[in-house]
Amino acid sequence: MKHNVGSIDKTMRIVVGLAIIGAGFYFGSWWGAVGLVPLLTGLTGFCALYSLFGINTCRIKS
């Protein structure tokens, strides 16, 4: 699997993912599970939608 998410993009995804999950726990909503998507894409460095649209924010070619 090729990496297509750059370092700044990864950081933002992880922060936003954790914030959404935290808000879900705070408000007692299942919508916090939506935060898993940006969190996992940030941790793995791969985004399927980026791949579909041909976007690559990663400087290093892998």
Tens digits of pLDDT across the chain (62 residues): 789 999 999 999 999 999 999 999 999 999 999 999 999 999 999 999 999 999 999 987 65
3-state SS, residue 61? coil
Q: How far apart are CA 35 and CA 52, in angstroms?
A: 21
Q: Where are the domains of the chain?
A: 7-53
DSSP state of 34: G
What confidence score (pLDDT) does residue 4 get?
94
What confidence score (pLDDT) does residue 60 get?
76
Does the reported pTM lie above 0.75?
A: yes
3-state SS, residue 41? helix
What confidence score (pLDDT) does residue 34 get?
97
Helices and strands per DSSP (H, E), number in the chain? 3, 0
